[in-house]
Amino acid sequence: MPIPLIPIITALAAGGTLVPHAAGGLIVTAATGGYVAGTYLSTTAIASLLTLSIATVGTGAAVITGAASTIIGSAGIFGTTIGATGLTGALMSAGLLPSTPIAVPALAGGVILVFLYTAYKILRLKWKLKGAKEENEIQFTESEAKTIESIIKLMDKKKLIV
């Protein structure tokens, strides 16, 4: 069964939100109230969507991490220009950057923490889906619905969904 993402994306773009359905699974409610027809996501569809998103995010994260560390580079030995690489090394060699500002590693640490928290939320959701029996629909929480909604919106924004 195909995942009905076109009506879901359209309804979300019109101001709807993804919410838990009383029978299990998720459905989009319109901004004016009430469910939007054709936007129900079953537990199986959600599991497929998460599998697709995890594969895509994993590949993208590896590429972005490698590219970002190469471009930004690093300071040399003990914060000197000796062995400095990338943009940081170029700025240090030109005398525009005396050493690595504390904001750079602090920001990088913050980004890593946000990424790890999001990955944990998705992993927890995958465990929940894995523990479900085939014939049963899972009851989702509002938080899980928001996580799945943000995944759908991100995949649409990056044109990962046809």
pLDDT tens-digit series, residues 52-82: 776 655 555 555 555 555 555 555 554 544 5
Distance CA 43, CA 136 (A): 8
Q: pLDDT at residue 23 above 50? A: yes
SS3 1: coil
Going by DSSP bridges, is the β-strand pair 17-20/26-29 parallel, antiparallel, or unpaired?
antiparallel
- Within 10 angstroms of residue 41's Cβ, the number of other Cβ atoms is 23
pLDDT at 66: 56
pLDDT at 78: 47
Q: pLDDT at residue 51 above 60? A: yes
Nearest CA to 126 among 68, 49, 62?
A: 49
pLDDT at 143: 92
Nearest CA to 87 among 70, 102, 103, 101?
A: 70
Distance CA 40, CA 128 (A): 19
17 pLDDT tier (thresholds 50, 70, 90): very high
pLDDT at 101: 62
Quick one: average pLDDT of 11-26? 91
Tell me 18's DSSP state: E
What is the average pLDDT score of the chain? 76
pLDDT at 1: 47
pLDDT at 29: 93
* Structure tokens belonging to residue 1: 């069964």
